Structure 1
């Protein structure tokens, strides 16, 4: 077990944290790094008790900086001191990660030393709180759409990470709960393989001890999808506005073709706006080929939308063309996100 260090970010922990650390040490791990993430003087006695174990090192933030920053503090501490660990195992302080499952991860890390190992929970059990079950399924779907990676549990805090990847994980953006999602996405981009090990699913008091803020932290986790939606909405509004302006300007000079000309001009300008926002604000990457790929994708989506609606209307339904258009374009909107992430703005 001396090849591994257990890392536990802790914010206002209770007795469950002490119990977890005791079990970790009893299991045979001889280095546990606790990060006090600005818990305050009220919780000083907890960390004083933790420091009585010779296997425990407590690192401290003067103020709360978030789980992501706490993990980075521990990663930097290990790299700075050049400890001879093969890997680290991150765990939560609320007692929901068992020492026996940490042993499972360590065994898998020994078998696959080049892979990151995730402890995957079983969300099919009836005792799982609804918000956790729904949140996992929703996040798992969005993560698959945004990265192309299929995982059972994207929100697990129990992770085994080879030390050789810590330096690149320090470069990953995010200070709070979103850091863990960004970490998984960065592994995909850097072609680091990920494997999963099934662990026990433990929820204590309906997970009331969690410091996850549904609004603030969900925003950080899902902001790429939010920005993509806002970018599409803003481009639609711009397209309609430009269309109206060009209609006024072209009605008299081109009385026959003014609608077609206004449509094309408005779509080109709104598409350039959408391309700029998606490249620089949503996906934040791209290459010289991105613009060509973007318009190739836009043309494909436009033709697919028109053809699909026409086929469904003419061959099957014969009515409801507006509803058909909405349904088809909603599917294509999601497809567009995946295609832009994987192809248009991919990292060369």
Structure 2
């Protein structure tokens, strides 16, 4: 891609996030008004809370049935492309991400507009739940097997995507595993992945909101990793090798 002026928006997938979504939006609005909230079939007052921000430019995509985070991200990409944005930052609606880190992701993308910028959490944070540490180590291990690439944080939802690279690539899976799937498929397409440190707030255990279903979602992720390992052998690694050989000879 020829380097042009980057025009990014912020996509926030939201499901039953009425307790935090207003504070998240106020935080993000300090840095940009180009916000797309995807209401993923919430059954509480998330949609009503978001609609109070429409007067300041917040865009809303909403549908009645919960379809999962992967589906919501795909719908956000569709809206962002339709509105002419070149890049999209995704962040969570639970208040853990800090909007000030959007600036760092955007600056990193300015240096390589074809790359996915991955907000990498600090795992020395004493407030990080042990379950998060284990899940990330587990995910990082399989990502390295599937791509040959080491990343410090493959589970983070705080990322900046180049939309022209994602235009024909939507998550095939629909829930939490979709974010890992997107990284693996991007690596196979030789899209550069850049980790950028971010800060994350972890509320006390009694205040944390998680829609992760430990048994069912962990099983889905494990099944996805099995499938991706098989595809990596058949398609992923050969595809990466051919792309790199092609680039080498074209540049010569």
TM-score, normalized by the shorter chain, greater than 0.5:
yes
Separation of aligned partners in 1, 2:237 and 2:19: 45
Unmatched 5+ stretches in structure 1: 229-277, 288-340
Separation of aligned partners in 1, 2:11 and 2:227: 33
Return closer, same or farther for 1:130/1:163 CA change in 2, 3 Å cut-off: same
Return closer, same or farther for 1:191/1:70 CA change in 2, 3 Å cut-off: same
Tell me the residue number matched to 2:137. 137
Contact 2:36 2:60 in 1 (8 A): yes
Tell me the residue number matched to 1:325. none
The structure whose residues are more often helix, as a share, is 1
Aligned match for 1:7, one of 8, 11, 15:
11
More relative contact order, 1 or 2 (CA 8 Å, 6+ apart): 2
Contact 1:20 1:95 in 2 (8 A): yes
The count of residues paired between Structure 1 and Structure 2 equals: 237
Tell me the residue number matched to 1:176. 175
Contact 1:2 1:31 in 2 (8 A): no
Tell me the residue number matched to 1:32. 35
Separation of aligned partners in 1, 2:98 and 2:115: 21
Unmatched 5+ stretches in structure 2: 243-252
Separation of aligned partners in 2, 1:145 and 1:95: 32
- In the TM superposition, what is the alpha-carbon distance from 1:168 to its structure 2 partner? 2.6
Contact 2:140 2:154 in 1 (8 A): yes
Tell me the residue number matched to 1:201. 200
Separation of aligned partners in 1, 2:219 and 2:241: 24
Aligned match for 2:52, one of 49, 53, 56:
49
Separation of aligned partners in 2, 1:41 and 1:202: 24
- In the TM superposition, what is the alpha-carbon distance from 1:224 to its structure 2 partner? 4.2
- In the TM superposition, what is the alpha-carbon distance from 1:42 to its structure 2 partner? 4.1
- In the TM superposition, what is the alpha-carbon distance from 1:34 to its structure 2 partner? 0.1
Tell me the residue number matched to 1:58. 60
The 5-angstrom pairing of residues 267-282 of structure 1 reads: 282=230
Tell me the residue number matched to 1:250. none
- In the TM superposition, what is the alpha-carbon distance from 1:215 to its structure 2 partner? 1.7
Larger Rg: 1
Normalising by structure 2, we get a TM-score of 0.85
- In the TM superposition, what is the alpha-carbon distance from 1:46 to its structure 2 partner? 1.6
Query: Segments of 4+ in structure 1 off by > 3 A?
Result: 41-44, 224-228, 284-287, 345-348
Does residue 283 of the first structure (1) align with residue 231 of the second (2)?
Answer: yes
Contact 2:155 2:179 in 1 (8 A): yes
